Structure 1
Amino acid sequence: MPSAFFLQRFKITQERVAQRVGTDALLLGAWSFSHPLPKKARLLDVGTGTGIVALMLAQRFPESSVEAWEMEAEALLDAEENFRTSPFASRLKLRAQNYMEALASEEAPFDLIISNPPYYTEGILPEDHRLSLARHVAEGLSPTTLLRTAASLLTTQGALVLITPSTSLDQLRREAVEAGWRLAELVTVFSKPHQEVRVLTLWCRLSSSSDYIPTKTSTLILQDADGTPSTAYRTWVKDFLL
């Protein structure tokens, strides 16, 4: 496998990290959600891995500051190099930070928290400990944990953005309501037509207003029936991929 992944404005070194760049990270980083952010927003990428999502956010929001948290030592080395060699280095901050420990500290609030949380929340966990850690399982970071705790690190108008398996959506909705969130935006991702695989979700705090606010919904098909990248997918990532 190649050790580097090249994009239009930066490259990703991934020689050491357990979890290499994949489609989920590209979708998450490139998602043009409609939720408004302040001009000088503070953004947080939890479990940054190689740092690709944080770098994509820095490119999309040129006046923002982006903080990235990671626990796996090898991933931190890759992310540090990727941040340092990027054109956005001055607006990026990397921390060896356990998310659960940060909840009890005096962190300044963020305007957005974004994360690619684990898929192995039940059943057999990966045998490779580094891969397990890279997917946050070993440290207890899960979609449920994020929904129950992210508000403590967000501004009043802040939002939480996740990518998860499509089968998790009903459970996420139930947990979100209990934790005081509403599903503001939803993209259902299909690998090919009729093959639903992922959901991109953006969560906002439930409002005390009695007015019903519908979820903004859309779909994205990654490949045409013959397996070639779809026009919609190419448009989604056009500002990033070569």
Structure 2
Amino acid sequence: MKIGTDGVLLGAWTSVEKNPFSVLDIGAGTGVLSLMLAQRSFAELIDAIEIDADAYEQCTDNFENSPWNDRLFCYHASLEEFTEEIDDKYDLIISNPPFYSEDYKTEDSSRDLARFADALPFEELLSCASKLLSPEGTFSVIIPFKEEPSFLSKALEYGLYPSRILHVKGNPDSSFKRSLIEFSRYQATTEISELTIEISRHNYTEVYKELTKDFYLKM
């Protein structure tokens, strides 16, 4: 599984100003979000959950070979199983969930599992995140822009309120494709901003470069 722009954006944009002690990465894949947060924060406990066996093995290898291996741990489990077993609460929960919503599937079951929304329904994600989040914690997620209204409405049912939202488009002429949203348990004014990734093909905007510069070898 390649590292995509969605993951890099979410890992770079998510706030660590509250200095979280514990972090949970839901649907870790290769572990890129956990690794980015290990680089960006002083969190002492960074747990990840990954249900796909191959991705879990790759994530574990990446954790073990990183400079922060003493702070990182990956569980091979579903989110539902993990939520039932774990009593801990997390100061920061982050997720780049599968949300590929077309009504067909490929011959590659691992790719389907990573991309199709039925692998992790949004309602399950919100329900489990609300159970695992500490009282002062933050939940950060990236979803399709078109799903934002329904996702926000569903989040309110679980006592999660948007504090920051970033709308992302690929280039100046395209429509918005992604919404990055940070939730807390407290109702407050929502800070909404916009980001364009490229001016033209591989010609990245200064805002995107500034946000992600610590995570690319070349930009």
TM-score normalised according to structure 2 size: 0.91
Structure with a larger share of its residues in helix: 2
Do the aligned residues in 2 keep the contact of 1:118 with 1:143 (CA within 8 Å)? no
Aligned to 1:50: 30
Task: Name the CA distance, whole Å, in 1 between partners of 2:79 and 2:201.
Answer: 41
Do the aligned residues in 2 keep the contact of 1:29 with 1:56 (CA within 8 Å)? yes
What amino acid does structure 2 have at the position aligned with 1:56?
A: M
Task: Name the CA distance, whole Å, in 2 between partners of 1:86 and 1:104.
Answer: 29
Aligned to 2:164: 185
TM-score normalised according to structure 1 size: 0.82
Task: Name the CA distance, whole Å, in 1 between partners of 2:140 and 2:195.
Answer: 17
Aligned to 1:175: 154
Correspondence for 1:203 among 163, 183, 186: 183
> SS of 1:189's equivalent?
strand
Task: Name the CA distance, whole Å, in 1 between partners of 2:173 and 2:164.
Answer: 21
Residues 1:59 and 2:34 are matched in the alignment? no
Do the aligned residues in 2 keep the contact of 1:183 with 1:215 (CA within 8 Å)? yes
The number of residues matched between the two structures is 216
Correspondence for 2:144 among 165, 168, 178: 165
Task: Name the CA distance, whole Å, in 2 between partners of 1:163 and 1:60.
Answer: 18
- What is the root-mean-square deviation of aligned Cα atoms in Å? 1.9
Correspondence for 1:119 among 68, 82, 99: 99
Aligned-residue offset at 1:21? 0.7
Moved more, 129-138 or 151-160: 129-138
Give matches, 1:91-102, under 5 Å: 91-102=71-82
Do the aligned residues in 1 keep the contact of 2:24 with 2:93 (CA within 8 Å)? yes
> SS of 1:238's equivalent?
helix
Task: Name the CA distance, whole Å, in 1 between partners of 2:83 and 2:12.
Answer: 27
Task: Name the CA distance, whole Å, in 2 between partners of 1:138 and 1:128.
Answer: 15
Aligned to 1:231: 206
Do the aligned residues in 2 keep the contact of 1:58 with 1:65 (CA within 8 Å)? no
Residues 1:29 and 2:11 are matched in the alignment? yes
Aligned-residue offset at 1:194? 4.1
Aligned-residue offset at 1:227? 5.1
Do the aligned residues in 1 keep the contact of 2:60 with 2:74 (CA within 8 Å)? yes
> SS of 2:213's equivalent?
coil
What amino acid does structure 2 have at the position aligned with 1:222?
A: I
Task: Name the CA distance, whole Å, in 2 between partners of 1:32 and 1:150.
Answer: 16
> SS of 1:233's equivalent?
helix
The C-alpha deviation readout for 1:114-160, integer Å capped at 9, x for no partner, is: 11112234622344211122236454x13332122311111111121
Task: Name the CA distance, whole Å, in 2 between partners of 1:66 and 1:198.
Answer: 25
The C-alpha deviation readout for 1:34-78, integer Å capped at 9, x for no partner, is: 76244xx10010111111111001000134321111111111121
Unpaired segments ≥5 residues, structure 1? 1-18, 208-212
Correspondence for 1:128 among 108, 114, 117: 108
> SS of 2:85's equivalent?
coil
Unpaired segments ≥5 residues, structure 2? none
Do the aligned residues in 2 keep the contact of 1:224 with 1:230 (CA within 8 Å)? yes
Residues 1:148 and 2:127 are matched in the alignment? yes
Question: What's the % identity of the aligned pairs?
Answer: 33
- Going from structure 1 to structure 2, the CA distance change for 1:125 and 1:107 (only over 3 Å counts) comes to farther
> SS of 2:33's equivalent?
helix
Aligned-residue offset at 1:105? 2.1
